Chains A and B, each alone.
Chain A
Amino acid sequence: AQKVTQAQTEISVVEKEDVTLDCVYETRDTTYYLFWYKQPPSGELVFLIRRNSFDEQNEISGRYSWNFQKSTSSFNFTITASQVVDSAVYFCALRRDSGGYQKVTFGTGTKLQVIP
């Protein structure tokens, strides 16, 4: 069975602070994909990043960075210099690597509030 745990239910930071959202996953698969999605108040799911289990290189995209540590089954997400527009619920997700079929297992989400 696959499981994604986001222990932080809600986080509040003041604008321009850095914030890290934690994600820990469980899977018996040797190959899999990890994702982060952003869900703004309007409700849609916005894809942020996909990481293959073979690729443990950390990634940076503007103010966003991701730290994938296979040894600890973690895939943490850091926002640098947070902005009010970053306020949203962030979901970490896991998908087995099984060809075309791609059922996604989501974590419970972390609600981030950035205070101006």
Chain B
Amino acid sequence: EPEVTQTPSHQVTQMGQEVILRCVPISNHLYFYWYRQILGQKVEFLVSFYNNEISEKSEIFDDQFSVERPDGSNFTLKIRSTKLEDSAMYFCASSDQQGVGNQPQHFGDGTRLSIL
């Protein structure tokens, strides 16, 4: 079964540094998402992306964050100047347009980001 893949599985970065989290969505999917889960808390929506632009973003997704689909396969989340509170698990997800959402949103296994 096709999967969403995320790299790296664990990223350790110094505070203030830029970090890029990478995702390869399922190939025929059109909608892409990033979610964040701070340790011990719920999974929170960050941003959705369709047709090369942001569809919706949450209040968490401030100017430090950006997303990009640089080619036909990758979907990236960039954090420009990381803060300690950015430490979390970041999940990428993708979905297709089949039916009216008959397919579940497919999540990657996550990237654990640790800011030192």
Binding site for B on A (CB under 8 A): 31, 33, 35, 37, 43-45, 47, 50, 91, 93, 95, 97-109
Contacts and interface: CB of A to CB of B under 8 A. Distances in A.
Interface of A, helix, strand, loop or mixed by DSSP: loop
Contacts of B35: 104
Given A44-B109, A44-B110, A45-B91, A106 B97 contact: no
Interface of B, helix, strand, loop or mixed by DSSP: strand
Interface stretch (B18-26, B48-56, B64-72, B75-83): B48-56
B116 interface: no
Interface of B: 30-31, 33, 35, 41-45, 48, 50, 55-56, 89, 91, 93, 95-97, 100-101, 104-110, 112
Contacts of A98: 100-101
Contacts of B43: 45, 91, 93, 104, 106
